[in-house]
Amino acid sequence: MTNARLIDRDAAEEYATWFKALSDPTRVQILNLLAVADGPMAVGEIVERTKVGQSTVSHHLKILADVRFVFRERQGTSAHYTVNVACVACFPSAADAVMGRPVPPT
């Protein structure tokens, strides 16, 4: 038997929402696109780069924003998105926690 601790229910629920948010390849591509972008991107720019329809991109951005992987900023009549680096940086630690590995302090 191992000495690894069972993660608490609240953490498990939070991690599950993160994994679910990244369970779609389009969301992974959008997150990657925003991560390597030089600055905030408008929905139209994301649509153009991903070759996915505007309503689909907007739907995926909402899911990513709901789990705080991206920030949404209004600029006039449009919204621009950026990666929430602090939140995304926690993701590997979540995977480590799920696998029973030591998690670095935050």
Instruction: Render pLDDT for 45-97 as a digit per residue (tens, 0 to 9).
Output: 999 999 999 999 999 999 999 999 999 999 888 899 999 988 766 766 767 66
Element (H or E) spanning 7, and its range? Answer: none
Q: What is the chain's mean pLDDT, rounded? A: 86
Domains and CATH numbers, the chain: 9-97 (1.10.10.10)
Full-model pTM: 0.81
What pLDDT is recorded for position 47?
97
Q: Which residues contact 78 (CB under 8 A, 6 or more apart)?
A: 42, 43, 44
Q: Which stretches of the chain are assigned E, i.e. beta strand?
A: 41-42, 70-75, 78-83
